[in-house]
Structure 1
Amino acid sequence: MPKAKPQNPQARTIRISRLTLLGVLLLACCIAFLAAAEPFLFGWLLAVPIFLAVWILRVQTRVSETALQLRTLFRTRTVLWDEIQGLTFPKYRSARAVLTSGDQVPLPTVTFEDLPKITPLSNGRIPDIEASLQAERQEQRARSTPPQEKHSK
């Protein structure tokens, strides 16, 4: 009987939505018509939707309290939180982890919207931007509200 892998209940997996496989299926249908009409000319195109489906199912970033596990199409890499100095979010690309060595490691499928999923598991290494914004707004409201005067008779 195979052993079950121990699962970390606190870990979160960030991946491409499985709904994108519907688009791949539509592409496969379109290519199938071309391949049926001219198999010698267009038959090799059937490998494209297969490649895309494997890529969608494989690529992910797993965030735990101890490390980030980055899985691309051909390799898996684990980066400990101690090695990470911070995160950057380049425009139109996935996030990157800036390591203490100065190198940058791409985080597959991670975007700025995924930051609330990452922050609690980083044990304070990645600041909670949402909480900071709320605290700043409350401070601004407190400064802009005039103090209430007590009326004495």
Structure 2
Amino acid sequence: MSSPHQSVPPAKSSHTPAAGSETGSSPEPTEPTQTAQVIRITQMAHLGVLVLLLCVFFAFVGWPIGLWWLLLLPVAVVVWIERTRTTVSEDGLDLRTVFGSRHLDWTQVAGVGIPKRGFVRAHLTDDTEVKLPAVSYDRLRDLIRASNGRIPDLFAAEAAAREAEYEARKSEDEAQSTEAGIDETNAETTEPEANAEAAEADAEGAGTDVEVSTTEIAARDSDTDARDSDD
């Protein structure tokens, strides 16, 4: 007795090409998309929050009714650490602070400035400045790298200026060394000439002394002859 047989379609394997694609054809390459980079306050700042919590806790224990509000200070600092950030993406800069947020397109950013204190500032095309939250001087390299050349590399410009200054000083030192070598050569050339002139002057002086001595001898001989004739 034969049993009924029902055909079952083959199971889809990982080697089965996708529907609508030719066998053996490779998938179309997709352009890599750049992920947004988030610049935040360092997590080491939470250690400072812990120290702050211990300080306010001892004060709170001393007078709980009047100093209970001190316990809110560590909470506020934690909120500031977790919320303050700058996100760098292809669309621009997303700035987030404790009480608000703002988006800047790359067409609005004209450059960046480094103040003496605080976060880095972005110079906008409308001659205004905006703080970049969490972007301190030590995070400026991350901002420049994530901008893909939209923000000029200040460190490269500074390095080029230092290299140019070093080359200028090197050229100046070489020029001074060359001038010193020329002066030494001239001194060596002039010294033999001066010695030769001094020797000639000494020889002339010696010849004059010899002539005077010879004249004196002749005069003495004449006086001697005259005395002999008188005798």
TM-score range for the pair, normalised by the shorter chain length: 0.7 to 0.9
Query: Could you tell me how far apart the structure 2 residues matched to 1:110 and 1:140 are?
Result: 31
Instruction: State the SS of the aligned residue for 1:41.
Output: coil
Structure 2 gap segments, 5+ residues each: 1-32, 175-231
1:88 aligns to what?
113
1:46 aligns to what?
71
Structure 1 gap segments, 5+ residues each: 1-7, 147-153
| Structure 1 position 144, deviation (Å) | 4.9
Instruction: Deviation per CA, 1:96-151: give whole Å up to 9, x if none.
Output: 111111121111121232222122333433212333344552796599589xxxxx
Q: 1:96 to 1:133 in 2, by over 3 A?
A: closer
Query: Could you tell me how far apart the structure 2 residues matched to 1:47 and 1:139 are?
Result: 53
Q: CA RMSD in A?
A: 2.4
Query: Could you tell me how far apart the structure 2 residues matched to 1:22 and 1:112 are?
Result: 21
Q: Going by fraction, where is helix more abundant, 1 or 2? A: 2
- Number of aligned residues: 139
- Correspondence list, 1:2-151, <5 A: 9-135=34-160, 137=163, 141=167, 144=170
Instruction: State the SS of the aligned residue for 2:95.
Output: strand
Q: Which has the higher contact order (CA 8 A, sep 6+)?
A: 1
Q: 1:135 to 1:88 in 2, by over 3 A?
A: closer
Contact kept, 8 Å, 2:111 with 2:152, in 1: the verdict is no
TM-score (norm 1): 0.77
Q: Going by fraction, where is strand more abundant, 1 or 2? A: 1
Identity among equivalent pairs (%) = 40
Q: 1:23 to 1:115 in 2, by over 3 A?
A: closer
